[in-house]
Structure formats: C-alpha cells, structure tokens
Amino acid sequence: MQYAFDLAEQHAAHLVGYYASPTVGMNLEGSPQDIAEAVHQEFDRQLGLRHLTGAWILGDRPLAADIAEQIRYCDLALIGLGSPDDIGPDPQGFRIEEIVRSCGRPILGLPISRLAPPPFSRVLVAWDGSPQASRALHDALPLLKGGETIHIVSLGGDGAAKAERLIAHLARHGLSATFDTMPTFEMTIGDELLQRAALLEVDLVVAGAYGHSRLGEDLFGGASNTLVHQMLVPILVSH
C-alpha cells in the first residue's frame, strides 16, 4: 500500500484500495473486521496526508473475477507477487495469473523483497514484437518518463533488428533506450530475463504476458510464470 501511495502521488492519480479479507491460518492479530477497519483507516489517513482522491472496496467472492472487474476501470493495478516458492492460490484464494489473463489492463507486480521507491530509473524491456509485448510497453510509457536507462532485451536471430525499430519508436516519445548485447546465458527465457535484470540492476521489468495458450503455459511453464513468481524486481505485465 505504501508503494501504491508513492506511485499515485507522483502521478496525481486517483487511488483505489481493494481489500481481500484475511483467511483462517494467516496468524494475524484481531478479528477480520478489526483488521479490515484498521487498514481502511490507514488508507484514508494517507489519502488526506498526500492530498489524493481515492476509494475503498471490500473484496467479494469469487475474488479473481471481482478483482479483474474492478481493475477494468483503472489505468494500472498493483498486486503483490507473493512467495516465489508457492505457485498455488494465495491465502485469499486467487492466483495472479488469473488476474493478468482476465482483467485487460496492465498489472504492476511487486515482489516481497525490499523495494526502492518509485520512480523507476533503470528499466528492462523484454521485446519480441508480439502484441502482448507492444501492449505492455505502451502501457508502461507513463512510468518510463524521467528514467535514466532503458535496456531492450530482444533475443533470437532477428532480435537486433526488432530492438532497433523499438529504440527509434521510443525516441519519438522522447525516451532514450539501448539494445542489450549481453551474451545469452543459455537459460529459459524467464530466467534469462531475471538474470539480466539482476546484472543490470534494473528496478522494473516490462514484458508481455501469456502470449501462448493457457494449456501451453500450464504444461511447460513459460517466461510469464517465471516472472510472476519471483522476488527480485517489480514487473509490469500486460496480456
């Protein structure tokens, strides 16, 4: 929530808080009603301190469908990625993959590691020229303004050519980007991107998500699943 407030303040955004009630076994002190009220009060207090407008929503069941519905009326949704060791439903009973695939809006996934506050200064853009990658990039443009470095990672034989076209496109938006020529690590695409993100010390990865069929992703994993189950770096994904 703190991260969301920092980002909203920078963009003078209207901030919507969506609260999913804690479930049994989460080890939280107090009743669910008391916890919900305390978080709501803190949300309202922060709105006042930062002179922002906002709204508060109590989650409804089924959660995944309700969250996706609410996100369709937003420019950007911030969702915690949770523990990378647990790819099942989180304690509230939904998986982030469900939200990414169904909401139709960009998701900024936040890992559980300690994060530097926005704005983003060093960004890695995963680019394969696909509709999903293009959507993610253009959804991310407002967050790229004012950044120091944009690294374009475009793998494959025609990667350099695709990267050059994207660099020229970003220049027309007043953004300077460079093509990452680091040798491949011979990893899966998802791990390759995370390895480069770590070496380049980026504070945001931008990537298209779930460009393959649901069956293909579920059977063979895939870069999207790797990126939404990690604790290294925030990631903006669009489907």
Interatomic CA distance for residues 171 and 51, integer angstroms: 34
DSSP 3-state assignment of 175?
coil
* Average pLDDT value for the chain: 87
201-226 average pLDDT score = 72
221 to 58, 137, 190, 215, 224: CA distances (angstroms) = 33, 23, 10, 10, 8
More confident residue, 29 or 117: 117
Which of 100, 106, 158 has the alpha carbon at shortest distance from 128?
158
Interatomic CA distance for residues 186 and 106, integer angstroms: 29
Exposure string over 7-22, b if 16+ CB within 10 A, otherwise e: bbbeeebebbbbbbeb
DSSP 3-state assignment of 140?
helix
The pLDDT tens digits of the residues spanning 40-84 come to: 999 999 999 999 999 999 988 788 899 999 999 999 999 988 777
Residue 236 is which amino acid?
L
Provide the pLDDT confidence category of residue 219 given band limits of 50, 70 and 90. Answer: very low
Q: What is the DSSP string of 53-72?
A: -EEEEE--SSHHHHHHHHHT
The reported pLDDT for the residue numbered 157 is: 84
The reported pLDDT for the residue numbered 138 is: 97
Which of 167, 135, 134, 136 has the alpha carbon at shortest distance from 150?
167
Q: Global pTM?
A: 0.89
* Percentage of residues of the chain with pLDDT beyond 70: 90
